[in-house]
Amino acid sequence: MTSENEALEKKLGFWGIDRIVREDNKIYAEDYYCFKCYRESKKVRAEVFWPNIDLDITPVPYCKPCKDELAIKIILG
């Protein structure tokens, strides 16, 4: 494991466990692992919070491929 990977490993958090708030008092998806990938024992940096279509649903961090896959499942129903 390279030092760059080690730095990344220490920086990213786990959704529902860690609460990473930046200096601007905001939470960013890229500070977390993708929720779906992590549940499948893969460590992939999240890119977006999703879903962001309903204020009653708490958005979760996902990588772009996982978010697209979930969106397609909803659309196809």
The pLDDT confidence band at residue 6, using thresholds 50, 70 and 90, is low
For residue 53, the model assigns a pLDDT of 75
Q: Look at residue 1 and tell me whether its pLDDT is greater than 50.
A: no
pLDDT tens digit sequence for 8-62: 555 799 999 999 999 999 999 999 999 999 999 999 999 999 987 777 888 999 9
Helix (H, G, I), strand (E, B) or coil at 28: coil
* Distance in angstroms (rounded) separating the CA atoms of residues 5 and 50: 26
Return left, alpha or beta for 50; rule: phi > 0 is left, psi -120 to 50 is alpha, else beta: beta
Return the amino acid letter for 8.
Answer: L
CB neighbours of residue 51 within 10 Å: 15
